[in-house]
Amino acid sequence: MRIFHLSAECYPVAKVGGLADVVGALPKYQNLLGMQAAVVMPYYNRKFVQENEFETVFQSSTLLGIRRLYFEILKEKTDKLGFELYLVKIPGLIDRENIYSYPDETEQFIAFQIAFLDWISYSQQKPDLIHCHDHHSGLVPFLLYHSKLYTRLADTPTIFTIHNGQYHGAFGWDKLSYLPEIDLTKTGLLDWAGGINPLACAVKCCWRYTTVSPTYLEELTINSNGLEYLFYLEKAKGVGIINGIDTDIWDPKTDLMIAEKFSIKMQAKGKQANKEALCSRFNLSPDVPLVSFIGRLVIEKGADLLATAMEQSFNEHPGKFNFLVLGAGDKEMESELLQLKDFYPDQCTAFIGYDEALAHQVYAGSDFLLMPSRVEPCGLNQLYSLRYGTLPMVRSTGGLKDTVIDFGDEGGYGIRYNNASVEDICIAVSRALVLYDNTKHLQALRKLMMSLDFSWDRSAKEYINLYESLNLTI
Ligand code: ADP
């Protein structure tokens, strides 16, 4: 079965968050199960592209409104990622370094989608299914079914996966002319709240949509930045499938980025060695518990609560634990965390920026990973932390609720709390410190966490079951 995954991100080509991890892994695991899955993404002028060889497989031009755009489809020559990787390159629009935040982002992603459709249409390809990820490819289902240019492909099934329902990619009707010739009686499908909304449009037009956890499927009907009613209406088309983790990359037994590799059997020694290396880099004592946070510094992640909650916890438990944050995002949150570090230099460190290797070291060297998220569609950090024997301290929401059981409950291994609030974080820290003092219990929990299976084998099969339910021949 030939599948195209369309995405703005894919690890290791270009990553901002979990979307990249998923799109960099799911197709590989689908191929191991006998599919022919490929990834198509925009071209970014970054390390992976510079260091690998690509060949041009298609060249053409297309129209974005009245602007003629020349584009190329490049293919990575060796399929080294475990799937065919195609990049859409449009000089001057899709050939830059950053993934997001250009003022012409709308034009960038519309052009990406049109170029993809032109390519498969004019090169006479007929995929068995197109799997779109997030709003950046959300117009593809609509264009396939309602643009005269692509009628040859109009019976192609589409799946749309929502990795983050807060971002819609919405833009004004003044940009309707950017879309290729469409059936104007169908413009209502593009609309939400008076604008063109690619996320809403995808949910309406795709054959089935998925969210990256079952709880998030429910939550979208209550909190999705204005699309709640749409998700309520379309719920029967939705399926929640928890993400997996790529154990080729995230495995303490083989991870080349960490100070000392370790297995379940060696968890006590391995954790200590990694903690010592990490603490020595940041001048923290390795003799007290290390609580860490990794992620985008945004309200969704509860990052605005960190500085106050940690200050309160430092005062409640002076000298009893250290805190490390690795993240970037909101400037105010960044400076609050840097100030916290200045106030508590012996207990706190803040690495403001993005560093993939350091993330691996933090998962390996920390005792606890804090995730006070307000919204967490799936969350991969807690899955990585479980794999590395680091106890997750999570707010009960979205995928965190579906993957972490409180250690006070039967079969539990994490710490859960109900509110994204300073008070709940402080209580969670206090519980963590009590648990840390009970070495036997903590080590038993570590062994349990490390033995859990959140690999892609299971999730990739669930996606295939979904494809099969569309009555496709595989
Ligand atoms: P989201 O996609 O909402 O940001 P996820 O939990 O799904 O959150 O995925 C986050 C991914 O990004 C994880 O792989 C995490 O390790 C990584 N990550 C986030 N921030 C950083 C950072 N500052 N440095 C390195 N890795 C980061």
Structural domain spans, the chain: 2-246+457-469, 267-452
Which residue, chain included where needed, has tokens 């495995």? 251
DSSP 265-328: TTHHHHHHHHHHHHHHHTT--TTS-EEEEEEEESGGGTGGGHHHHHHHHHHHSTTS-EEEEEEE
Distance CA 158, CA 4 (A): 10
296 CA → ligand 1 middle, Å: 7
* Residues forming a β-bridge with 455: 245
Q: What is the mean pLDDT of each run of 10 residues along the chain (474 residues)?
A: 98 96 97 97 98 98 97 98 98 97 97 98 96 98 97 97 97 98 97 98 98 98 97 97 96 98 97 98 98 97 98 98 98 98 98 98 98 98 98 98 98 98 98 98 98 94 95 61
Residue 262 pLDDT: 98
* CATH architecture, domain 267-452: 3-Layer(aba) Sandwich (3.40)
Fold match between domain 2-246+457-469 and domain 267-452: yes
360 CA → ligand 1 middle, Å: 11
Pocket perturbation via mutation, ligand 1, pick of 381, 386, 394, 404 by most ligand atoms within 8 A of CB: 381
Nearest to 97 by CA among 50, 163, 39: 50
2 CA → ligand 1 middle, Å: 29
Q: Residue 379 CA: which ligand 1 atom is closest?
A: 6
Nearest to 384 by CA among 404, 401, 405: 404
Helix locations, 186-290, DSSP H:
198-205, 214-219, 228-233, 267-281
Bond from prior residue into 27 cis (ω within 30 degrees of 0): no
Which residue, chain included where needed, has tokens 């409640």? 316
Q: Which residue type occupies 473?
A: T
Nearest to 386 by CA among 417, 347, 412, 410: 412
Is the overall model pTM greater than 0.85, yes or no? yes
**354 three-class SS:** coil
Q: Check if the beta carbon of residue 427 is closer than 8 Å to that of residue 370.
A: no
* Residues forming a β-bridge with 292: 324, 369
Residues with CB under 6 A from ligand 1: 17-19, 21, 294-296, 326-328, 354-356, 359, 378-381
**102 three-class SS:** coil
17 CA → ligand 1 middle, Å: 4
Nearest to 397 by CA among 165, 168, 132, 133: 165
Distance CA 467, CA 77 (A): 28
Please return the burial class of 439, using the count of CB atoms within 10 Å of its CB with bins 0-12, 13-18 and 19+: exposed
Q: From the CB of residue 139, how many other CB atoms can be counted at a distance below 10 Å? A: 29
Residue 415 pLDDT: 98
Question: Any residues with CB less than 8 A from the CB of 21 and at least 6 apart, and which?
Answer: 11, 15, 243, 245, 246, 380
Question: In 87-99, which positions are buried (b, 16+ CB within 10 angstroms) versus exposed (e)?
Answer: bbbbeebbbeeeb
423 CA → ligand 1 middle, Å: 25
Which residue, by CA, sits nearest to atom 22 of ligand 1?
354
Q: Check if the beta carbon of residue 132 is closer than 8 Å to that of residue 160.
A: yes
Which residue, by CA, sits nearest to atom 5 of ligand 1?
18
Q: Residue 212 CA: which ligand 1 atom is closest?
A: 7
103 CA → ligand 1 middle, Å: 24
Residue 471 pLDDT: 77
Which residue, chain included where needed, has tokens 């799109």? 23
Indicate the CATH number of 2-246+457-469 among 2.60.40.1180, 3.40.50.2000, 3.40.50.2300, 3.60.15.10. 3.40.50.2000
Which residue, by CA, sits nearest to atom 9 of ligand 1?
18
Residue 80 pLDDT: 98
